[in-house]
Copies of this chain bind each other. A is one copy, B any other.
Amino acid sequence: MFFNPKSVAVFGVSRKLEKPGRTVFENLMNSDFPGKIYGVNPNAKEINGHKIFSLKNLPEVDLGIFVIPAEAVVKTLKEVAHKLKGAVILSGGFGESNREDLDNELKKISDKFGIEIWGPNCLGVLNTKNDLNATFLPLSRVRMPPKGRVSILSQSGATVASILDWAGNIGLGISKIASYGNQLLISDYEILDYFMNDPETEVIGFYVEGLKDGRKLIEVAKRGKKPVIVFKAGITTQGIKAAKSHTGAMAGNFKVFKGVVKQLEWEIVTNMEDFLQVLKLRSIWKTKVKKAGIVTCGGGFGVMASDTLEKYGIELSTLSDNLQKNLISKFPKRVSVSNPIDLTGDATPEMFDEAISALMKESEVDAIIIILLLQLPKLTEGIVKVIDKFKKGKKPIIVVSPPGFYASKVNEQIKGVPIVASPNRASKILSVIKL
């Protein structure tokens, strides 16, 4: 219901453009959300050409989105809860500000009217399928990410804001985003359960500082079969202290958490770059990786990839004599055909094609790191088509393409595979999906 309402009402639609309630309303009005959208403000009849409703003349609506001060949320809900199935409360100022009295009022309202309450103190929900964006992020700041099969949940609102924007930036296809804030009545494990059963979600991303109820989460997780990538923050003494001050969450012991995650066969990351890139990789490939092949056009970058794969516990595949002979016969003498395959500075897209094709057939290779130095004159835009050819292959590929002038133009055209700036990053990502 939170992700697929037939109608929504925004409480707190101000005449002032910069007010968050107005932003939520404008976002929805400018979207392709197919349902009815009602703006609510007791002191206005019309804003920006749209009819505005009072609490009295508001009809029955599936979902209310509240962006008004905490006390006003409670007061308003008492009047309109009977017209709503659910409420997303974006506003803060409840339990996290020592207003447990307001929390109690919300609980009473939920009991009395049978209304479901999301939040409070969160960024809200987003569903790319029906273009439902119930967040207060203006579209001038953050575009909706591309539609996809990855759903992400996070207590922290600002973190989700960055995740959304970053996902758009790297072309990570999103299904749903859930920022759940204080978890007064709807908890992390319930949202996880929802995603586990959601046919539009194939991969789940979970940013977590502390859990509401570890046991219940494990129960839910054990029933689910989808890949889950967890980004755990609050893992050091300093981090746990900061997490406590941030969400009030007890971050708990990281070793215990890691043990649980291992048991659940979830994959764990400890930084944002890896989180988003592993989600992207997992949205395409589900296999685990033990040994990797490298194709490069710069020897130095091949060395860096070799170093970092070893550092993160991934072996360099030993390439068969057959493969090596085959490549020797096709390539100029200067090319090194052991792993890394170093096509050298004269590498062409065709040479990459040959080398990647060979590695795809090699049983000892579980994944391939492809290093593109687009500074080199013979490595042309033709490489986009070559990568395209392998992005639906059986083996995960990660493209390393350092930032640059021409590089940024070509990188933009490479879609549907993780692209990272350095061999270090690529190796780190593979280590997350290590067998």
Using CB atoms and an 8 Å cutoff, list the residues of chain A in contact with chain B. 18, 20, 23, 92, 97, 136-138, 140-143, 154, 156-159, 161-162, 164-166, 168-170, 207, 209, 233-239, 241-243, 245-247, 270-273, 297-311, 315-316, 333-334, 336, 338, 340, 342, 344-345, 373-378, 402-408, 421-425
Complex interface: chain B residues within 8 A of A156 (CB): 298-300
Given contacts A141-B377, A165-B375, A242-B306, contact A233 B404 (CB under 8 A): no
CA distance A404 to B145 in the complex (A): 10
Chain B residue nearest to A344 (CB atoms) is B158
Q: How close is A270's CB to chain B, nearest CB, in angstroms?
A: 7
Q: Are B246 and A310 in contact (CB under 8 A)?
A: no
Q: Are A405 and B165 in contact (CB under 8 A)?
A: yes
Chain B residue nearest to A372 (CB atoms) is B162
Q: Are A403 and B373 in contact (CB under 8 A)?
A: no
Complex interface: chain B residues within 8 A of A245 (CB): 299, 336, 338, 342
Can you list 29 contacts pairing A with B, beta carbon distance less than 8 Å?
A: A20-B377, A23-B377, A97-B333, A141-B406, A157-B345, A158-B298, A158-B301, A158-B375, A159-B301, A161-B373, A161-B376, A162-B404, A165-B403, A165-B405, A165-B406, A166-B402, A166-B403, A169-B408, A170-B403, A233-B307, A236-B311, A238-B306, A238-B307, A242-B302, A247-B299, A271-B304, A271-B422, A272-B424, A273-B421
Chain B residue nearest to A340 (CB atoms) is B242
Complex interface: chain B residues within 8 A of A333 (CB): 97
CA distance A138 to B237 in the complex (A): 50
Q: Are A307 and B235 in contact (CB under 8 A)?
A: yes
Q: Are B375 and A141 in contact (CB under 8 A)?
A: yes
Per a CB cutoff under 8 Å, which of B92, B300, B307 touches A207? Answer: B300
Q: Are B375 and A161 in contact (CB under 8 A)?
A: yes
From A164, A165, A311, residue with most partner B Cβ within 10 Å: A165
Q: Are B271 and A310 in contact (CB under 8 A)?
A: no
Complex interface: chain B residues within 8 A of A425 (CB): 273
Complex interface: chain B residues within 8 A of A345 (CB): 157-158, 161
